[in-house]
Every structure is written in structure tokens, then in C-alpha cells.
Amino acid sequence: MSGSRIIEVDFSKGYAIIQDEKVDPFSIVDALQGTEDLILMHDLDSIRRNRQQLDILQDLSEEIKLWYEGGLRFADSLIDPLVSGAEKVVVSNAYFSDEEYEKAIRMTDSVVIDADADYPDGIREVYRSRWNDLMVGRLVAGGYSDVIISSRIALDVVRSLRNLNVDLWIRSEGQIDELIQKIDALGEKGIKVAGRVAPVEELIEANE
């Protein structure tokens, strides 16, 4: 498969949380050695208690490239994770307002839109509505270049982003070669599948 893979991992109190168990986060780093994979760090402490785990973020970023997501609500909150070593910070409509999106793009180009994000109640809000199509299209036209989407609606999203330049990161539990071929067949030259966002369980299974 072309492109990169990003492994999604929940973090709380300095541990990786995998199937409700606390795991040494550096064991995940070790499992990724020799690959070009990244980690997408979901900071549960930041999401639930507004306490960013910047120490573990800094330690991990010295070993591996990672993206950070912490339910951030304000553009100013992007700075600390970036300074602590995150390559990019992920934000979503679940928390971010239009006004904060506009502030964020003026501050940094290291922001990723998650259009397939978990809301605070744990229910995944998949990018489906026409309103979301228009909103993400406007954000991409305004300067955002990375968008995470679900594999289920990837083709619809590509059609809604015609004539725009964007790197798509497709959240999927399996390979997406066939989907990439279908996207390529649409002929949208500015739209590229940059890689796949995969669950950490995929990494665990591969190393068993």
C-alpha cells in the first residue's frame, strides 16, 4: 500500500491504554522500530480533565514522529503540544468552532482536521452531512491540507472537494489499496491519499 500508516493509541496518566489495560508506551515505539509508521496520541486526560500529558508527549517525540489529539477547543492550545514535539495537532468539529479554525490556520500549518472524530460521549460522529462537506471544503480552500476521514465515505468526500489540494488520511481497520484505486479513478489531481489511520490492535496482532 502506498502512503504512511498512523497507529492510533489512547493515553492516560502516562500509559498507553489498550483494551482497557495500561501498557508501557515505549513498547509501542519498540514495535514500530524499522518502520515509517507514526503514532496518533489521543490524550484522554486532556479530553476528560483538560490536563495535557506533555511530559510523555515530549519523551515519545524524541523516539518517534507523532501526532497529538487532545480534544482541544482553542487555537492557543495548539502551541504547547507542538513545542513539546508533536509533528501535527489534530482537531475536530466535535470541539473546535469556526472562529478557532480561522485562528489556528493563521498560527500554524501543522494542523490536521479529523472529520471522523469521537465526540465527548464516545460516539463516533462520521463525516456525512452536506453541512460538513461544505465546512471541510471551506477549511481546505482556506489553507488546511490534511484531513482524516472514514473509509466508508472517502469517495463522497473526494467528490465534494473537487479542484482542491488535500492529503487524505483514511481511517480503516484494513488495507485500502482498492479504495485508493477508486479515488485515483476520479481524476482529482490535487487530492492524494497520504496514508491510513489504523487501530493499535492491528500493531499488537502483527507482533504476536
Asked whether the CA dihedral 94, 138, 158, 167 is positive or negative, the reply is negative
Residues with Cβ within 8 Å of residue 34, at least 6 apart in sequence: none
Looking at the 3D structure of the chain, how many domains does it have?
1
> Does the pLDDT value for residue 208 go beyond 80?
no
Per-residue model confidence (pLDDT) at position 204: 77
Residue 180 has pLDDT above 60, yes or no: yes
Which of the two residues, 76 and 205, has the higher pLDDT score? 76
The Cα–Cα gap between 70 and 34 comes to 27
Query: How much helix, strand and coil, in percent to the nearest 5, is found in the chain?
Result: 40, 25, 35
Instruction: Average the pLDDT over 152-178 and give the result.
Output: 91
Point out which residues pair with 191 in neighbouring strands: 166
**8-state DSSP, 144:** -
Whether the per-residue pLDDT at 131 is higher than 80: the answer is no
Percentage of the chain exceeding pLDDT 70: 89
Identify whether the C-beta of residue 182 lies closer than 8 Å to the C-beta of residue 152.
Answer: no
- pLDDT band, residue 95 (cuts 50/70/90): confident
- pLDDT band at residue 2 under the 50/70/90 scheme: very low
Residues in CB range of 155: below 8 A, 6 or more apart: 179, 182, 183, 186
Q: How confident is the model at residue 153 (pLDDT cuts 50, 70, 90)?
A: confident
Report the chain's mean pLDDT, rounded to a whole number.
89
Structural domain of residue 182, as residue ranges?
4-206
Q: What is the CATH number of the domain that holds 146?
A: 3.20.20.70
Q: What is the pLDDT of residue 118?
A: 63
**Is-contact 105 131, C-beta < 8 A?**
no
Q: What is the reported pTM?
A: 0.91
What type of residue is 123? I
* Rounded (10°) angle between helices 98-107 and 130-141: 20
- Partners of residue 7 on adjacent β-strands: 39, 198
- Grid coordinates of 7: 497507529
Q: Is the dihedral of CA 26, 22, 174, 143 positive or negative?
A: negative
What pLDDT, in 10s, does the model give residues 110-123?
Answer: 999 998 866 555 55
For residue 133, is pLDDT > 90?
A: no
